[in-house]
Structure formats: structure tokens, C-alpha cells
């Protein structure tokens, strides 16, 4: 351990101690989501289950609520629900990462945990350099940096980052998010037999798919995996233009489904689909756990989104991760459902069966609060509109004639109403996780998800169902405890 590393750890610990009380006072501190102890959290990193224990690392700026020279914070869990804060995994202490230990991934090999991440460097002129770095650990808590394992290959700008490593057919592969010299977003793929010598194979997509020539100027945080007979490439492109209800956030996250030739790394794939329909979702990462589930966690935030306007900033912290979701693939579409372990947080249960609402707005007894799981099953909707209002701050609105499902909320920047929408064939079920300042809405058993922060008045705990016609539904509600 270098003295620089020791100093940075000490500084980070001091920042945690200094603001602990203030951070904990924030009414918007969440009950059951991963947050930074102080400062800014962004991407989930190094998500893995190793020797039974789930490890979740995250991009962390301990010193303020903006971006900068990132650390890797670290949580562990036995059940993906209760997370324990661990020693800071990585500090930006070496020359090859002095401006940040940027995003990356974890693998288990030879009884050790390996981390691969991007060393971000900005020289005196502000020019960027990027290095892919490896660190190893015998106990999963203390990491030893092994130095740079991948230098920038030819053909890309220094925007070359976020290595995701995995093993397949006895070989190691790495995908890296990048930009080529024509300012086009790409995913580079590399291969290795020993984890330290890496050969650049080429681009996963884009090179041969004309339609993708201008699909954003940079692709961040790639992830490539096998699921239900297909290959899925998850990526976060920057620079897509809004198209109707699509691509409305500053940056996007989504996926391609297809087949990959692993000798060249080339992927033949279908269209890009967004992973989430909400306001805050970016840079997701997946892992396959010991039960064989492909689990995804995202950052419940987006870069360059007026981040300083989030009201938590005055309490010296910002952002959270999403709940872990299990992925399945049906006809080239990803379905996402919250891990079943979350039911261990359920407290008091309230059931209202065969509720009929007719041209009215109603609340249901005991269906209120700021931390709950809500399950709504719609039996029939004879109406132009059916909606659920959350804490007088956000509304989910369904219009059967067009199939449009819309999430509205009051903007945390100017308090104006803003909305995000998608189109469904029909609406049958909603599984909604509300935390003190977040909503995750799983539609039709995972067909679509809306993930968003919300900052309602503390006193307002109402949930109101409304329609201009007739709706018949069952409503289940569970109070959700603290993790
Ligand atoms: C995505 C990202 C990554 C980068 C990290 C830096 O949000 O920009 O590309 O590694 O954040 O914190």
C-alpha cells in the first residue's frame, strides 16, 4: 500500500465522519437501496457473487457531490437485500489512475477475486489517457493493484473505458466502451489466456452494421453475456437524438440481442432497445450468480442531468443504485423482475380484492406510506384513463386506447411536470417499489420498467387510484422495512 493510498483513505474516512450526521438527517435517505455514505455515487462496478457472498462496488466521489477522481466504494451481502459497507476497495493513488479509478468489473479465478477497471488520467493540458488496470484480492476486501494490463489499442480515442471481463470456453474476454476516430460509439472486444496479456480482436458491433454508423458518439459501460440461447450486448450510448418517446434522457442505456462470432468478436444483432423508461437509469452491469440467474443493477442517475439540483445535495450526498433485477429473454426482448429475496423486507400486508373504481379518485385503507411494495392486478379497464398518484408528486397514467403508459413527476429542477412514456399492448400488472425518494415500476411482469427518483413533501404519504370510467383490480401492499 502506498502512502498516497493511505492518505486518500484517510481523507475519505474523514469526509464520511465529518458529514455523517447531516447525511443521516436527510428525509430522502432511502430505506432499502445502496447509497454512498457521503458524496456522489454513480455506476455499479465489480458486481459478483464470490464464495456465496454478493459484492457490489460503486463509483464513489467522497469529497463532494460532483464527479471527479473516483474511488471504488464497496458493499457486501448474503442475500442481495441487506448490504454491509466494507473498506474502500480502490483509491486513485497511482500515476495510471490519478484522475479516477473508473468503472469496471470483477471475476473469480484461482481462489482470488480480480477487478478490472479503467485508470483515468488527465495530463497538464487536460488531455485524457486511459489504462485498463487489474487488481487482485485473496479475501475480497483488500485489493492489490497489479498495474496496467491493456494500453489503448489503435483506432480509438482516449475515451476507452469500463472493461467487463468474463470467461467463456476456457478463454477470457473483455469488452470496453469506446469511441473511434470518426466520433462513433463502439464496443471493443479483447481476448486473453492469462488475464494479463490481452489481444484486441476488433469491435463487437458497428463495423459491419451500416445503420449503426451514427448511433451516438460514445458508448459507455458495455456488458456482453449469453442468455436463453442468445447473446445480449448491454451498453450506454451517448449522443442519441430523441425520437418520439424514445431516448428522452440525457444519455441512454439499452441492449442488442443477436449472435456473436467469438473468433472475431463480431455481433449480428437486431435493433437497440432501451432498458428502462424512467427518468434516472444509466450504466447498468450484470452478473451471473451461483443460482445461474443473470442479475442487473443500474445507477439510478444520469450524467450531466442538472445533478446539483437534486435536493439531497444540501445533505452532502447524491444518487443510489437500483434494486437488483433478474433478466430473462423472450423473443429477443429482455424482461426484468426484482429479485425474489426482496420479499424478506416485507412488513405489514394489506390486501384489497376486487376493488371497483368508477369515475372517481380513491385511496384504499392502509395503502399509504413512503416505503412500500405495491402489487396491482388489473382485471378490467373500461375507461380512457386509469392512473395512480404517488404522494401527490408522481403519477402513472395508462390510456388503453393508445396503449400509452406515462410516468409524470414534478421536476426537481423547476418543479414543472415532466413525463416519460412507452406503449404497451395491454396493461395487466404493476409491481411498484416505492422508497422514500424513489420509484421502480415493473410493468406486466417485467416487460417494461420505469426507474425514477422523486422528491415529494415529507408529510404526503398518499397513494390515489383514479379513472374516468370503470376499473376492477386487486391491490396488495406491503410496508417495506429498512435494509
Ligand atoms: C458512466 C461513466 C463511465 C466511467 C465512470 C466514471 O457513468 O462515465 O464511463 O467509467 O462513469 O465515474
The ligand 1 atom nearest the CA atom of 118: 10
Q: Mark whether 197 and 255 lie in a shared domain.
A: yes
Among 297, 315, 338, the domain-final residue is 338
Q: How far is the CA of 62 from the centre of ligand 1 (A)?
A: 16
Q: Mark whether 274 and 404 lie in a shared domain.
A: no
Average pLDDT in the 35-48 region? 98
Q: Mark whether 69 and 180 lie in a shared domain.
A: yes
Range of the domain at 397: 346-480
Mean pLDDT of the chain: 96
CATH of the domain at 14: 2.115.10.20
The pick from 72, 73, 239, 283 for probing ligand 1's pocket by mutation, whose C-beta has the most ligand atoms within 8 angstroms, reads 283
Q: Mark whether 351 and 314 lie in a shared domain.
A: no
111-120, 198-207, 358-367, 423-432: which range is least confident on average? Answer: 198-207
Question: CA 49, CA 307: separation in Å to the nearest integer?
Answer: 31
Residues 6+ apart with CB under 8 A from 13: none
Q: Mark whether 392 and 281 lie in a shared domain.
A: no
Evaluated on CA atoms 23, 313, 160, 213, the torsion sign reads: positive
pLDDT band at 124 (very low <50, low <70, confident <90, very high): confident
Q: Evaluate if residue 411 carries a pLDDT over 70.
A: yes
Residue nearest to atom 6 of ligand 1 (CA): 102
- pLDDT at site 331: 92
- Pairing label, strands 218-227, 230-238: antiparallel
Instruction: Please write down the HEC assignment for all residues of the chain.
Output: CCHHHHHHHHHHHHHHHHHHHHHHHCCCCCCCCCCCCCEEEEEEEEEEEECCEEEEEEEEECCCCCCCCCEEEEEEECCCCCEEECCCCECCCCHHHCCCEEEEEEEEECCEEEEEEEEEEECCCCCEEEEEEEEEECCCCCCEEEEEEECCCCCEEEEEEEEEEEEECCEEEEEEEEEECCCCEEEEEEEECCCCCCEEEEECCCCCCHHHCCCCCEEEEEEEEEECCEEEEEEEEECCCCECCECCCCCCCEEEEEEEECCCCEEEECCCEECCCCCCCEEEEEEECCCCCEEEEEECCCCCCCHHHCHHHHHCEECCECCCEEEEEECCEEEEEECHHHHHHEEEEEEEEEEEEEEEEECCCCCECCCEEEEEEEEEEECCCEEEEECCCEEEEEECCCCEEEEEEECCCCCCEEEEEEECCCCCEEEEEEECCEEEEEECCCCEEEEEECCCCCCCCEEEEEEEEEEEEEEEEEEECCC
Q: Mark whether 265 and 402 lie in a shared domain.
A: no
Summarize pLDDT for 196-227 with one digit per residue, the tens.
Answer: 999 999 999 864 455 566 799 999 999 999 99
Q: Mark whether 123 and 141 lie in a shared domain.
A: yes
Contact 366, 439 (CB under 8 A): no
Among 274, 307, 338, the domain-final residue is 338
Grid cell of 423 as nine digits: 406503449
Q: Mark whether 156 and 233 lie in a shared domain.
A: yes
Q: Evaluate if residue 123 carries a pLDDT over 90.
A: no
The ligand 1 atom nearest the CA atom of 303: 7
Summarize pLDDT for 143-202 with one digit per residue, the tens.
Answer: 999 999 999 999 999 999 999 999 999 999 999 999 999 999 999 999 999 999 999 999
Question: CA 260, CA 281: separation in Å to the nearest integer?
Answer: 26
Q: Mark whether 212 and 332 lie in a shared domain.
A: yes
List 83's β-bridge partners, or say none. 77
Residue whose entry in the numeric block shows the C-alpha cell 416485507: 346
Per the structure, how many domains does the chain have?
Answer: 2
Q: How far is the CA of 185 from the centre of ligand 1 (A)?
A: 14
Q: How far is the CA of 402 from the centre of ligand 1 (A)?
A: 37
Q: Kindly name the residue from 26, 43, 289, 435 that is annotated as catalytic.
A: 43
Residues 6+ apart with CB under 8 A from 314: none
pLDDT band at 2 (very low <50, low <70, confident <90, very high): confident
CATH of the domain at 448: 2.60.120.560
Q: Mark whether 270 and 121 lie in a shared domain.
A: yes
The pick from 39, 43, 45 for probing ligand 1's pocket by mutation, whose C-beta has the most ligand atoms within 8 angstroms, reads 43
Summarize pLDDT for 46-105 with one digit per residue, the tens.
Answer: 999 999 999 999 999 999 999 999 999 999 999 999 999 999 999 999 999 999 999 999
Q: How far is the CA of 67 from the centre of ligand 1 (A)?
A: 9
Question: CA 314, CA 63: separation in Å to the nearest integer?
Answer: 14
Q: Evaluate if residue 132 carries a pLDDT over 70.
A: yes
The pick from 46, 59, 66, 163 for probing ligand 1's pocket by mutation, whose C-beta has the most ligand atoms within 8 angstroms, reads 59
Among 295, 310, 338, the domain-final residue is 338
Average pLDDT in the 410-437 region? 97
Maximum separation of any 2 CA atoms in the chain, in Å? 68
Question: Is 193 assigned a catalytic role?
Answer: no
Question: CA 238, CA 44: separation in Å to the nearest integer?
Answer: 18
Cα–Cα distance list, 167 to 136, 190, 194, 255, 361 (Å): 17, 12, 11, 20, 54
Q: Which residues surround ligand 1 with Cβ inside 6 Å?
A: 42-43, 59, 70, 102-103, 118, 161-162, 220-221, 282-283, 303
Q: Mark whether 19 and 43 lie in a shared domain.
A: yes
Q: Evaluate if residue 394 carries a pLDDT over 90.
A: yes
Summarize pLDDT for 264-278 with one digit per residue, the tens.
Answer: 999 999 999 999 999
Q: Mark whether 278 and 373 lie in a shared domain.
A: no
Amino acid at each position: 500500500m502506498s502512502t498516497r493510498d493511505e492518505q486518500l483513505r484517510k481523507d475519505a474516512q474523514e469526509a464520511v465522519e465529518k458529514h455523517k450526521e447531516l447525511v443521516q438527517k436527510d428525509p430522502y435517505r432511502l430505506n432499502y437501496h445502496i447509497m454512498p455514505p457521503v458524496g456522489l455515487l454513480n455506476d455499479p462496478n465489480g458486481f459478483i457473487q464470490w464464495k456465496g457472498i454478493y459484492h457490489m462496488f460503486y463509483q464513489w466521489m467522497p469529497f463532494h457531490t460532483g464527479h471527479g477522481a473516483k474511488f471504488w466504494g464497496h458493499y457486501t451481502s448474503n442475500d442481495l437485500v441487506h448490504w454491509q459497507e466494507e473498506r474502500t476497495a480502490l483509491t486513485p493513488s497511482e500515476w495510471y489512475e490519478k484522475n479516477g479509478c473508473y468503472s469496471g468489473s470483477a471475476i473469480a479465478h484461482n481462489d482470488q477475486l480480480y477487478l478490472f477497471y479503467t485508470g483515468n488520467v488527465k495530463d497538464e493540458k487536460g488531455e485524457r489517457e486511459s489504462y485498463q488496470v487489474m487488481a487482485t484480492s485473496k479475501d475480497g476486501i483488500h485489493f492489490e493493484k497489479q498495474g496496467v494490463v491493456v494500453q489503448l489499442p489503435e483506432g480509438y480515442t482516449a475515451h476507452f473505458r469500463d472493461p467487463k471481463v468474463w470467461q467463456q470456453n476456457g478463454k477470457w474476454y473483455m469488452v470496453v466502451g469506446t469511441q473511434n476516430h470518426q466520433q462513433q460509439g463502439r464496443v471493443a472486444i479483447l481476448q486473453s489466456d492469462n488475464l494479463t496479456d490481452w489481444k484486441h480482436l476488433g469491435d463487437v458491433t458497428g463495423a459491419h452494421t451500416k445503420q449503426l454508423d451514427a448511433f451516438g458518439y460514445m458508448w459507455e459501460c458495455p456488458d456482453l453475456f449469453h442468455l436463453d440461447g442468445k447473446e445480449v450486448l448491454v451498453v450506454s450510448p451517448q449522443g442519441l437524438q430523441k425520437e418520439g418517446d424514445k431516448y428522452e434522457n440525457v444519455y441512454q442505456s439499452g441492449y442488442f440481442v443477436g449472435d456473436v462470432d467469438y473468433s472475431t468478436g463480431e455481433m449480428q444483432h437486431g435493433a437497440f432497445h432501451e432498458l428502462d423508461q424512467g427518468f434516472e437509469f444509466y450504466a447498468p452491469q450484470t452478473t451471473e450468480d451461483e443460482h445461474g440467474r443473470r442479475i442487473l443493477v443500474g445507477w439510478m442517475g444520469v450524467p450531466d442531468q442538472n445533478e446539483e439540483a437534486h435536493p439531497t445535495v444540501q445533505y452532502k450526498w447524491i444518487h443510489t443504485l437500483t434494486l437488483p433485477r433478474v433478466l430473462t429473454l423472450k423473443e429477443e426482448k429482455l424482461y426484468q423482475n426484482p429479485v425474489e429475496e426482496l420479499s424478506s423486507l416485507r412488513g405489514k400486508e394489506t390486501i384489497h380484492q376486487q376493488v371497483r373504481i368508477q369515475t372517481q379518485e380513491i385511496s384504499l385503507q392502509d395503502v399509504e406510506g413512503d416505503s412500500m411494495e405495491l402489487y396491482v392486478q388489473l382485471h378490467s379497464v373500461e375507461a380512457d384513463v386509469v392512473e395512480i398518484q404517488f404522494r401527490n408528486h408522481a403519477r402513472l397514467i395508462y390510456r388503453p386506447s393508445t396503449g400509452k403508459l406515462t410516468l409524470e413527476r414534478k421536476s426537481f429542477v423547476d418543479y414543472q411536470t415532466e413525463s416519460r412514456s412507452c406503449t404497451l399492448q395491454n396493461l395487466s400488472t404493476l409491481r411498484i417499489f416505492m422508497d422514500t425518494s424513489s420509484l421502480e415500476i415493473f410493468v406486466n411482469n417485467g416487460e417494461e420498467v420505469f426507474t425514477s427518483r422523486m422528491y415529494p413533501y415529507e408529510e404526503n404519504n398518499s397513494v390515489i387510484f383514479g379513472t374516468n370510467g370503470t376499473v376492477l383490480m386487486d391491490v396488495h401492499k406491503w410496508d417495506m422495512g429498512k435494509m
